[in-house]
Amino acid sequence: MALIVHKYGGTSMGSTERIRNVAKRVAKWARAGHQMVVVPSAMSGETNRLLGLAKELAPAKPEEAYSRELDMLAATGEQASSALLAIALQAEGVESVSYAGWQVPIRTNSAYTKARIESIDDKKVRANLASGKVVIVTGFQGMDDLGNITTLGRGGSDTSAVAVAAAMKASECLIYTDVDGVYTTDPRVVPEARRLKTVSFEEMLEMASMGSKVLQIRSVEFAGKYKVPLRVLSSFTPWDIDINEEAASGTLITFEEDEHMEQAIVSGIAFNRDEAKISVLGVPDKPGIAYQILGAVADANIEVDVIIQNISKDGKTDFSFTVHRGEFAKTVDLLRNKVLPSLGAQEVVGDAKICKVSIVGIGMRSHVGVAARMFRVLSEEGINIQMISTSEIKTSVVIDEKYMELAVRALHRAFDLDQQPT
């Protein structure tokens, strides 16, 4: 008998029929003798619908002005789906009880719409498990010190599930979703993309941060910090498939490198179209310029990704970096109006039609020449690299957006990711 956490995404909870299927699946696990905690998302589309209603009523106001109410509102989506699941389980003859985040309680800070979990009191959940009940805990939400309802950011139910699993030292946290695992890249771009049986937590973190949207990135960070065994698997298999087969399906996120059975050097290709490039040209090359430029950007709460500074010529240098595309105009404005005058730089130029493509793999730590191979592949395709950034287990390039699919396909092929590892 083990304590298991299941998380079901919005699509899996998308209709009463699907909720009944989830209930049957959970009942199967409970009847196999496991203690079950289930964390559902809101029914698909519900969070968008609720937030859309708010927008209709206050379109002109900055969201921060009413973010407390947004959380109060959006949290109802998970409250509804959790109660429905408890009802469906009872209809299956399985005793069950649901709790909203504030009832558990799951304590968070007060950063509405992007709160962070601080602690989870598991007494109530444990008592119910001990009395033989399946316990349902709403995803996506908690409560701050003053008793306000908070939410954890879009996709936050993943983080709720992992946090509950960590707090309760669950044997495994299974994330049931509408894909059957983590792939070598997005199968919509490369049809030959393959499901990985295992992926290391560090690789997953890199891929999640680069737009492989299978898991909310915070949930991966949480799983890494608390060593929560995490598996991503499909909720669309028949609910009555063999439980052992189900327990071994999908993609397992592992911690030990030697558990990483697929010994590929590169495990996946990630890409991200949501970035824009900004260059500050003719910057006097002297101490403090990076701070003057990026400090101002950070003060405006704008996240910066890839950064490069050229070598200087005649005492002047160029400085380039990328930001989220949605913050492109704001960043350019800020630099032109607030930073440029005091910096003595010549001009600020930008390009929003770029993308970032990355190869990710823990094997890169112990192999040389992997980045060079990536550059060769891109050169053979005639793709110009605009920026490069590397970490121990990743090499990213910024290229023209129009070559993104070509680059991803060529790299996927060149690193043999369409072949089953031997």
Residues that bind ligand ASP (CB under 6 A): 10, 41-42, 47, 77, 139-140, 154-158
Rank residues 75 and 355 by Cβ distance to ligand ASP and give the closer one.
75
Shortest spacing between CB 9 and Mg ion, in angstroms:
5
Shortest spacing between CB 44 and ligand ASP, in angstroms:
8
Rank residues 158 and 327 by Cβ distance to Mg ion and give the closer one.
158
Of 114, 157, 389, 406, nearest to 275 by C-alpha is 389
Q: How far is CA 205 from the centre of its chain?
A: 8
Identify the burial level of 277 via C-beta atoms within 10 angstroms of its C-beta, where 0-12 means exposed, 13-18 middle and 19 or more buried.
buried
Shortest spacing between CB 13 and ligand ASP, in angstroms:
9
Rank residues 215 and 410 by Cβ distance to Mg ion and give the closer one.
215
By Cβ distance, which residue is nearest to Mg ion? 155
The region of 28-36, 86-94, 147-155, 325-333 touching Mg ion under the rule CB under 5 A is 147-155
Rank residues 40 and 363 by Cβ distance to ligand ASP and give the closer one.
40
Residue 101 interacts, among Mg ion, ligand ASP, none and using kind-specific CB cut-offs from 5 to 8 Å, with none
Which positions from 194 to 233 touch Mg ion by CB under 5 A, shown as an x/- string?
A: ----------------------------------------
Rank residues 181 and 350 by Cβ distance to ligand ASP and give the closer one.
181
Residue 322 interacts, among Mg ion, ligand ASP, none and using kind-specific CB cut-offs from 5 to 8 Å, with none
Note whether 236 and 184 are within 8 A (CB).
no
Amino acid at 12: S
The region of 5-13, 51-59, 191-199, 308-316 touching Mg ion under the rule CB under 5 A is 5-13
Residue 40 interacts, among Mg ion, ligand ASP, none and using kind-specific CB cut-offs from 5 to 8 Å, with none
Shortest spacing between CB 272 and ligand ASP, in angstroms:
19
Shortest spacing between CB 407 and ligand ASP, in angstroms:
30
Shortest spacing between CB 80 and ligand ASP, in angstroms:
11
CA pair distance 60, 302, nearest whole angstrom: 22
Rank residues 155 and 181 by Cβ distance to ligand ASP and give the closer one.
155
Residue in this structure with the two tokens 């109410």, named with its chain if needed:
69
Peptide bond into 421 cis (omega under 30): no
Residue in this structure with the two tokens 């964390």, named with its chain if needed:
39
Residue 186 interacts, among ligand ASP, Mg ion, none and using kind-specific CB cut-offs from 5 to 8 Å, with none
Shortest spacing between CB 45 and ligand ASP, in angstroms:
9
Residue 396 interacts, among Mg ion, ligand ASP, none and using kind-specific CB cut-offs from 5 to 8 Å, with none
Pull the structure tokens for residue 161: 């599930």
For residue 186, report the phi and psi dihedrals to the nearest 5 degrees. Answer: -70, 115
Amino acid at 219: S
Number of Cβ atoms within 10 Å of the Cβ of 149: 23
Rank residues 9 and 268 by Cβ distance to ligand ASP and give the closer one.
9
Note whether 140 and 158 are within 8 A (CB).
no
Rank residues 157 and 184 by Cβ distance to ligand ASP and give the closer one.
157
Shortest spacing between CB 219 and ligand ASP, in angstroms:
9
CA pair distance 401, 219, nearest whole angstrom: 29
Rank residues 156 and 350 by Cβ distance to ligand ASP and give the closer one.
156
DSSP letter string, 306-372: EEEEPPPBTTEEEEEEEEEGGGHHHHHHHIIIIIHHHHT--EEEEESSEEEEEEE-GGGGS-SSHHH
Contacts of 339 (CB under 8 A, 6+ apart): 280, 292, 293, 296, 345
Burial 189-221 (b: 16+ CB within 10 A, else e): bbeebbbbbbbbbbbbbbbbbbbbebbbbbbbb
Rank residues 71 and 158 by Cβ distance to ligand ASP and give the closer one.
158
Shortest spacing between CB 320 and ligand ASP, in angstroms:
33
CA pair distance 63, 271, nearest whole angstrom: 29
Of 103, 110, 120, 101, nearest to 146 by C-alpha is 110
Shortest spacing between CB 331 and ligand ASP, in angstroms:
26
Q: How many residues bind Mg ion (CB under 5 A)?
A: 2
- When binding is defined by CB under 5 A, the residue of 155, 224, 268, 363 that contacts Mg ion is 155
Q: Give the residues lining the site for Mg ion (CB under 5 A).
A: 9, 155
